Structure 1
């Protein structure tokens, strides 16, 4: 039996476009002589469709497009993920399903049993769990079929919930000759080969090969990295699809294949994820040009590099907006960086508008010394300039705040927080430095200037200002941030693990909670970690726990 594993980059809601890709893949499968073409989870509508599934017209259209796919399956079998109505009993009126199609006929549906409702997933909000499993006779093989989460619990990787059923164990008595899993598994900064381990565990239990077809591409804040896998009955990786791009991989179950390694570099995959996130956000939303404040600092340097790679340097504009507090080094580094990247560059000094605002507000600030109000005023003037250029020329503003700043609220509402997308809002400050050094190593030249890497971080909103005036060292901040936000460690556990005074840990955690109201008003953030502030994390703005 030969299977064409097609990892597509669907657009949520683009039923016409997604169906066209599916039909083209079926034709490709016929040309390559395969028996079955399999697609990822909810490929027909794109994952996640969220509340689009509440519209009856959306569901009606999906049924019509499924009919087109069935008619287009002459001479070949297909497995297509989609949303369908629940015509049986249950709390929810929808099912997350895989349509099993063969030679112009719908054989039936396999419904997803385990519905994740944690982190970025909200499937129990929409779907009723599947209630049965079966064997599908395809290409002379006994085929087991499950959907995404259905395979994870068996491997022991479901940390947020305990399901009462195990779809892999339920298939043991049916003795499948191959297990297929259609998936939409998001990227996060971890070992991407974790899916190989998950498939390997199922393969050993069922004593049969396992093929997992993954989604690729970014839909809003969530990024899918692809890497569809084929493991043999021993759980050894035999084939691996490409990462971060569409791919069609032919799996021949009868071929004798030697195990292959899953080779990757963590910083390279993180960089590719961010580039894909920007590229797809712009392409799928119909945007083409990006704009950002280019301060001469490390965060804007990284965002500018990512944008230039994702969109092409000709589609990126960097704007330097020096104030009387901006150092000569920062100004010259912004100019040089723009030249290194080949992006367009503007310099718009803000001294005059700042002086005008301070003069306007002087009667109302009388008797008070300059403080954070004047600092934030500069940031907001810059935000006004960026948004004006965006409106006039059709650029989308990229926010350059990193996760450490987002966590602690070390940013200005309606100032540096403005923008259509937070590119590195899920990348800690220490990882920002690591990524920039990695970029220079990859490019084999000084793309991100050493002077930027070596300069102490500063917002440059007052004389001789340094981030360390307001914050501990970023290494300390990031240890607390990752421990508390991503791993849910207690204050004492973080303090003991990283040898940070308990009072300092508590103070940083309090700042994280106090900044919740700011984060709610910020741009969408590309999610690349275990727990992002952009999507998948929910905390009340008003609370008195800490």
Structure 2
């Protein structure tokens, strides 16, 4: 297309639509439809340009899918289809997709589409390779980019990690960018929104340019993307703030002053949730999208009368609605009447289906079958674990019969030290509290009883009976058992675990915090030997800086101990 046929220059006014939506990895057609919907909405609002999140056409992170030539080709076709559609004179688009360059390299790319063409392609220069990110495994780093011209405005398009260091934005500023538009696939963890804001402020200060930060939302396996897109003026003041944990669409109006600098008309500034609400919403969104995107009709879980299964049941109802949650009490001779009462009360408060399936016969059947092998041995945790595994068999049978996903309900404290039964209570497809320590589970349970944020599907009020929160925790696998028979108080355990897992502190360093050295060494040992269990655990929502998944990669076979 010749320059004469390009749309007229915008002049001193630019209307940008920010599309914060929920893509699905691999659903190229569905993700393309989301872009089309956003463009239609932008056209109605008179927008000139639509900014979409990082790699939005394929979904983020695509992981090794981008190593399949057919996948990359289909993404390219989607980009070309959208480019042709911009020949209608409507809004331009900034979209993201994996892109095979002329040099044969595979890049994480952002494309500017306008006037029926792919007007420019920009490659991500700074590839993250830490924590949950390993983009260097599949992508090549692009060169430091220059700005792209959009209808007479020179726009810098750094991609996500490109703004976490100064080089890319500095290069864009020095080569004439007037405004920075940043597509992002930035996952949630606690206090992440404030961390992003500080990074963006630093780039604005360094470049003197306004910046629009567009992030995706939605769950993708263990990651939750929380949105929270926003814009900063060149003076670092907040121009607009979009919500976290929900799809949204914002129209932003920009004007170029006499000095050539762009500023945004103040837009809505949504108040972001506090840490408790953010953590809760992350767990709910991660569970919801895992169930819906994998097309399960609902979930089933064992409701024991304990706090872990209770909070998971509430999260499931908040995510999916009561009609898609099935709770089953699976009592044995050690299950107390108190637990049965508490479980029934929780199910009643949530309005979910609740059934009782005793496991006496399955456990006795296993015991009888194993009796010849176990002759002349003493009963121990083997027999206790038969109870948990019998429960797992029942739940998996219900899942097989009706298609519902089994929810796993173990917290991070228990998963850290292996206080869980492989092929028993670890059975399942997804665990929303996998990255919450037991003390956090207690805290959030009380918080949810006092709060019901908007948009959730569960009821308000006391959805977790107070007795579940206040009673002594127990697995009820033997008479008069409590968790503290095997573990220190959770306040002590969780502090030691945070030091070992999140901070990688030495035993000596943790001892200086006032903990007993022998206890620290015991917890460290339990942490290491439970690695084989964690490798077989289902995925769950990332909440902390270091979840048990891609964040923390320890060997199973490991004789090191910090002595």
| Partner in structure 1 of residue 261 of structure 2 | none
| Partner in structure 2 of residue 275 of structure 1 | 284
| Partner in structure 2 of residue 475 of structure 1 | 491
Residues 125 and 425 (structure 1), Cα distance of their counterparts in 2 relative to 1, 3 Å cut:
same
Q: Which runs of 5+ in 1 are unaligned?
A: 155-165
Secondary structure in structure 2 of the residue aligned to 1:115: coil
Question: Which of 437-446 and 62-71 deviates more?
Answer: 437-446
| Partner in structure 1 of residue 391 of structure 2 | 382
- Alpha-carbon shift at residue 350 of structure 1 (Å): 1.2
Query: Structure 1 runs of 4+ off > 3 angstroms?
Result: 258-263
Secondary structure in structure 2 of the residue aligned to 1:97: strand
- Alpha-carbon shift at residue 357 of structure 1 (Å): 2.0
1:36, 1:354 → 2: CA distance? 64
| Partner in structure 2 of residue 493 of structure 1 | 509
The structure 1 residue matched to 2:536, chosen from 500, 509, 521, is 521
- Alpha-carbon shift at residue 232 of structure 1 (Å): 0.6
The structure 2 residue matched to 1:94, chosen from 106, 120, 131, is 106
Secondary structure in structure 1 of the residue aligned to 2:79: helix
1:175, 1:477 → 2: CA distance? 54
- Alpha-carbon shift at residue 190 of structure 1 (Å): 2.0
C-alpha contact (below 8 Å) 1:35/1:139 kept by paired residues: no
2:268, 2:539 → 1: CA distance? 40
C-alpha contact (below 8 Å) 2:252/2:267 kept by paired residues: no
Q: Find out whether 1:365 has 2:374 as its counterpart.
A: yes
RMSD of equivalent CA atoms: 1.5
- Alpha-carbon shift at residue 242 of structure 1 (Å): 1.6
- Alpha-carbon shift at residue 86 of structure 1 (Å): 3.0
Residues 260 and 282 (structure 1), Cα distance of their counterparts in 2 relative to 1, 3 Å cut:
closer
Correspondence list, 1:1-16, <5 A: 1-16=14-29
* Deviation string, structure 1 residues 164-186 (Cα, Å, up to 9, x no partner): xx212222312422111110000
C-alpha contact (below 8 Å) 1:44/1:82 kept by paired residues: yes
* Deviation string, structure 1 residues 455-497 (Cα, Å, up to 9, x no partner): 1110000000000000011111111221221122222222223
The structure 2 residue matched to 1:338, chosen from 332, 347, 359, is 347
Secondary structure in structure 2 of the residue aligned to 1:432: helix
- Alpha-carbon shift at residue 191 of structure 1 (Å): 4.6
2:286, 2:439 → 1: CA distance? 21
Q: Find out whether 1:257 has 2:301 as its counterpart.
A: no
| Partner in structure 2 of residue 235 of structure 1 | 236
| Partner in structure 1 of residue 45 of structure 2 | 32
- Alpha-carbon shift at residue 259 of structure 1 (Å): 9.9
1:481, 1:86 → 2: CA distance? 45
Aligned length in residues: 531
C-alpha contact (below 8 Å) 2:241/2:270 kept by paired residues: no
- Alpha-carbon shift at residue 261 of structure 1 (Å): 7.9
When the two structures are superposed, what TM-score results if normalisation uses the length of structure 2? 0.92
* Deviation string, structure 1 residues 399-441 (Cα, Å, up to 9, x no partner): 0000111111100010000001122111110000011000011
When the two structures are superposed, what TM-score results if normalisation uses the length of structure 1? 0.95
Q: Find out whether 1:120 has 2:132 as its counterpart.
A: yes
2:151, 2:507 → 1: CA distance? 57
| Partner in structure 2 of residue 50 of structure 1 | 63
* Deviation string, structure 1 residues 223-269 (Cα, Å, up to 9, x no partner): 10000110111222221112111111112122443895854211111
2:325, 2:525 → 1: CA distance? 37
- Alpha-carbon shift at residue 216 of structure 1 (Å): 0.6
Residues 281 and 350 (structure 1), Cα distance of their counterparts in 2 relative to 1, 3 Å cut:
same
Secondary structure in structure 1 of the residue aligned to 2:224: strand
| Partner in structure 1 of residue 77 of structure 2 | 64
C-alpha contact (below 8 Å) 2:144/2:168 kept by paired residues: no
